[in-house]
Amino acid sequence: MFGVVAVGLAVAIGVGVARGEKHPPRAPTPEAYIPVRDAFIDRIGEDGFYCRLPAPAIVVADTPLFGEYEKNTDTLISPDWTQLTAAEKAVFVELAGPGASGASGATDAQARKVFEMEAHHWILIVETVRWWEACKQLTLKLTPYQAELQAARVTLAYWRERDPEVVAQLFAIVEVLDKLPSPIPEGQDFPTYFNQHYQKTASGREYLWIQAQVVKAVRAEEPEPTVVQAMKRLE
């Protein structure tokens, strides 16, 4: 599903390791990103947008969409940087840009920063909006593109209020993505393309390009909606 984003923090699993032996690989867990999820849920709750269910569980696992809400298990799924394939990491190296560290290209840390911004700030909140929609059993008769706009609108309003620096960094990434070749056939508009490719397999780069177009659309809306105004459009 398009749209959007849980995350992980490495913790040691050292039970039974003898002195002098190497520790087993560290397994990503979601503790570092639970506060991101909870801060959003608490914020919308301040204005009466409650859910009768507990917050969705966070599962740290690789997904081609870099994050998604799984309705049947009520979980937010998102990968840790260490779980990405080489091809997936290469997408973020490209987005970080050669200018970030000279002719040698972006470093792993610079690429990871872009990944964290996309997966654990943007997509994670978009997918938490989808959890809220599922919790409220909303049955809006929207096209996939319209539904994506709704979730993106709430997410952008939230970050504008909470941390404008996150918005600035997201917009910078969107500008880089927008320079990539468009996959849209000549004569077709983006909403139609989105609706036709909804839930179809997309490469990491193409998916992020699609997300960038959605961000551009909600960014252009005037006046800028508040969190409350954006949430009310979901009801």
Q: What is the pLDDT of residue 203?
A: 73
**DSSP string covering 42-72:** HHHHHTT---SSPPPEEEE---TTS-EEETT
pTM summary value: 0.85
**DSSP string covering 81-108:** GGGS-HHHHHHHHHHH-GGGTGGG---H
Q: Can you tell me the mean pLDDT for 132-150?
A: 88
The DSSP H or E segment spanning 28 is strand 27-29
Q: Can you tell me the mean pLDDT for 60-66?
A: 91
Residue 189 buriedness (CB in 10 A; 0-12 / 13-18 / 19+): exposed
Q: How far apart are CA 161 and CA 226, in angstroms?
A: 8
Q: Which amino acid makes up residue 98?
A: P
Max mean pLDDT among 22-31, 143-152, 196-205 falls in 143-152
Q: What is the pLDDT of residue 8?
A: 27
Q: What is the pLDDT of residue 98?
A: 66
Residue 184, both tokens: 């849209």
